Structure 1
């Protein structure tokens, strides 16, 4: 299973904020520069993360973003389920796709469904806090990248 870039960016934003923004607001430009991602892409991601309640946005000259929840309150499986468009592993998963003539008798759909369920079950066991257990290492990498991009 592969995550979309949208979900990847969502998780990266959360990691960045959990690692560096405890005492300050972070602007979108900073995150875009560190990850070398389009600011326009991140603007939509951050807007949606705000709507989902994961981050707070503060408008204005000195505005920025920060986590709205503690890292241990942000479940990775939940974030992925809310940011992915679908989990269709094959055409037979999509109710609008009538392309497979054997889907009514095929056992593959059930097997793939179990695989997706297991995948999500594992992800639901982790929070953002688990991802940033090595916070100091992440901070050093972010600092190096900031220096490199400036």
Structure 2
């Protein structure tokens, strides 16, 4: 099983923002930090904003900020919002299923159980949990090489 880029980038954006609390970040800055397409990132930010996970402030001093506390953002909900479906195999899609053994096959039930366990595990964790599990210096990894944000 593999997450779509949309779900993957949604998690990355949230981690980026949570690692730098209270600091507005531009989509270009986040795209550069992850070496990913800004165009795709903008669409993911729009999704996250529509769901109330992030706030987008326009203007020169604006940017993207978390709209909720990291402890209030469940990973399972984010992944569900970023995935178009969880059809692991063809028979999960009733409208387009052409598998000839589907009526008698036991695989669908096993795969559905595995999918549900995957999502249940993600539901147990919040963005705050990810920050706690990350190593010190996570925010520093998002800085361009050779720079420091030491305020003192």
TM-score, length of structure 2 as denominator length: 0.91
For residues 83 and 22 of structure 2, what CA distance do their matches in structure 1 show? Answer: 30
**Partner residue, 2:138:** 138
- Cα offset for 1:140? 2.4
1:89-143, CA deviations, whole angstroms, 9 ceiling, x for partnerless residues?
A: 1100012213101111111111111111111111100000111113632022223
Higher share in helix: 1
**RMSD value over aligned CA atoms?**
1.5
Q: Quote the Cα distance in structure 2 between the aligned partners of 1:24 and 1:92.
A: 45
Alignment partners' CA distance in 1, 2:135 and 2:128: 9
Q: How does 1:1-150 map to 2 (within 5 A)?
A: 1-20=1-20, 22-133=21-132, 134=134, 136-143=136-143, 146-147=144-145
8 Å Cα contact 1:19-1:135 kept in structure 2: no
Normalising by structure 1, what TM-score? Answer: 0.92
Rounded Cα–Cα distance in structure 1 between residues aligned with 2:139 and 2:60: 25
In 2, distance between residues paired with 1:140 and 1:65?
18
- Structure 2 gap segments, 5+ residues each: 148-152
What count of residue pairs does the alignment treat as equivalent?
146
- Distance in 1 of aligned mates of 2:114 and 2:8: 20
Give secondary structure in 2 for the equivalent of 1:132: helix
Note the C-alpha offset of 1:148: 6.0
Dislocated runs of 4+, deviation >2 Å: 134-137
